[in-house]
Amino acid sequence: MNENVYRKLAAHLDTLPEGFSSNDPEADLRLLERLFSEEEAALAVHLTLERDSAETIAHRAGLPLGEAEECLKTMAQKGLIFSVQAVDSPALYQAVPFVIGIYEFQVNNLSKGLVRDLAYHWRAGLKESAPPAPPQIRTIPIGKSIETQMDVFSYEQVNQLVQSKTRFAVAPCICRRTAKMTGSGCDAPEESCLVFDEWADFYVQGGRGHEITQAEVYEILERADAANLVLQPSNSQDPSFICCCCGCCCGILNGLKRHPKPAEAAASAFTAVLDPDLCTACWTCLERCQMDALTEDTGHVLLNADRCIGCGLCVTTCPSGALTLERRPESEQTRIPATMDDTWRIISQKQAENR
């Protein structure tokens, strides 16, 4: 193994949103060697968060166009970079973070060896850095939990988000698939990661997911509600995906759950409100909440607002209407960039400023 090539790649990935390098450089190198060939690793460092043609990247890397183009196509197929191609236009290639990006794109490439190397990498712990601002994903309410008279932006309503899209695909949840390979996991639907438009094209072309209709998207969202899954789209007004996440397998929700005040760490415009006079103590909400924001105390339900991320799961099945959602104060809401690419650029820039 040419360690220098992989060390350069680790350093490059560390500049992207969420970073990459852990406190165990050897674990990092083992993981990268499993994913990238030396040729791919050497070329990957010349990709950025901007979408460039093969010709531009080849020039940057000092490679013949044909050689660079073949390698870029292979990396896109392997889910190591992102690619997009409009009709009658050359393909464009883009670097993606390790999470959200390379890891999720390996959903059909999971093996015991890869899962082991991922575990070593994450167990070592990422080097300390300032938390991403804004986060890569946000939480939106289950559609039925928002009252019709509430003032809500279109990008906060799941049905309007779906209606704004033209192409749809669904992929297996890599978090639940990984958890099952390690002997844990849950019974929530595995095929529940929704991707849209350019991301849908990328997933379908790479065999990571399959095309579905808008009607099928709504069916998956109904199943997600029934399975107590939190809706987490990309943190953008024009989302690239919506993940349907459980609190036991999802890395993002697990991280939030460990936070002493998840409400402060989550990007969410809403919070639950409890009217104790209407509560019938049916305890349904306790089973639904993924953040342990609702607890039982001497026959009554208690709501800890510091733990609520505004997903609305408790609201949709509250038989008495004791639980509702309300908008957080403007000062407690995070900025929602226009696109996922904008979100990545902002995070990457802030990481560079904090180094």
Q: For residue range 215-224, what is the model confidence (pLDDT) as tens digits?
A: 999 999 999 9
Residue of 86 and 234 predicted with greater confidence? 234
For position 238, what pLDDT does the model report? 95
DSSP state of 283: -
Asked if the model's pLDDT at residue 86 lies above 90, the reply is no
Distance CA 328, CA 17 (A): 26
* Average pLDDT of span 208-234: 96
Q: Which amino acid is at 79?
A: G
In degrees rounded to 5, what are phi and psi of residue 270?
Answer: -130, 165
Q: In 3D, which of 298, 299, 189 has the Cα closest to residue 249?
A: 189
CATH 3.30.70.20 fits 262-330, yes or no: yes
Q: Rounded distance, CA 190 to CA 37, Å?
A: 30
CATH 3.30.70.20 boundaries in the chain: 262-330
pLDDT value for 58? 98
What is 3-122's CATH number, 3.40.50.150, 3.90.1150.10, 1.10.10.10, 3.20.20.140?
A: 1.10.10.10
Would you state the pLDDT for residue 243?
A: 96
pLDDT of residue 131: 56
Distance, in Å, from the CA atom of 257 to the CA atom of 279, rounded to the nearest integer, reads: 25
Residue 142: predicted pLDDT:
83
CA 14 to the chain's CA centroid: 18
Q: What is the pLDDT of residues 43-53, one digit of tens each?
A: 999 999 999 99
> What's the pTM?
0.93
Higher pLDDT, 65 or 124: 65
pLDDT at 80: 98
The tokens for 24 are: 């165990």
Backbone angles phi, psi at 210, to 5 degrees: -135, 155
The pLDDT assigned to 2 comes to 85
The whole-number pLDDT of residue 185 equals 84
Helix, strand, coil abundance in the chain, percent, nearest 5 = 45, 15, 40
- Positions of CATH 1.10.10.10 in the chain: 3-122
